[in-house]
Amino acid sequence: MVKSIISMVLLSVSAFLAFKHGWDTFNFKKHPEAMKMMGKLGINETMIPVFGGGTLLVGILLLFPKTFFLGNVLNAMSIVIIMALAMRAGNFKMVLLEIPFLMMPLVLIWLKYPFLKN
């Protein structure tokens, strides 16, 4: 029971963050500081919609039991890519800030989808 509640909370937070970051990525021109940060990471303007679409896809995949695992794997991979780009740019503070967000999909994989009867 407790495991399902923790999984449900983490799933809700993870899906919310995926949709929020995906939406913000598509509206990057309204956020010049985000554009500056992406530029420092080496992400050019033509790649930004790809990252936004991927992030929205992760949010959708997380919501369904059959694609829950794939959504979490893609989420973890995208976070590792961001961490690698930040390391290449020399932004180790960002790398350290991403560690809890990397742990979230890995813990969700371990906890499994919260709305299934075992």
Give the pLDDT confidence score for residue 20 in this predicted structure.
93
Number of C-alpha atoms within 13 angstroms, CB side, residue 102? 14
Residue with tokens 């809890």: 100
What's the pLDDT tens digit per position in 82-94?
999 999 999 999 9
Give the pLDDT confidence score for residue 72 in this predicted structure.
97
Q: How confident is the model over 21-28, as a mean pLDDT?
A: 86
Give the pLDDT confidence score for residue 88 in this predicted structure.
96
Q: Taking Cα atoms as reference points, which of 116, 103, 113 lies closest to residue 6?
A: 113
Give the pLDDT confidence score for residue 118 in this predicted structure.
58
Number of C-alpha atoms within 13 angstroms, CB side, residue 3? 10
What's the pLDDT tens digit per position in 27-70?
888 888 888 888 889 888 888 889 999 999 999 999 999 999 99
Residue with tokens 């983490």: 10
Query: How many Å apart are CA 52 and CA 38, to the nearest integer?
Result: 12
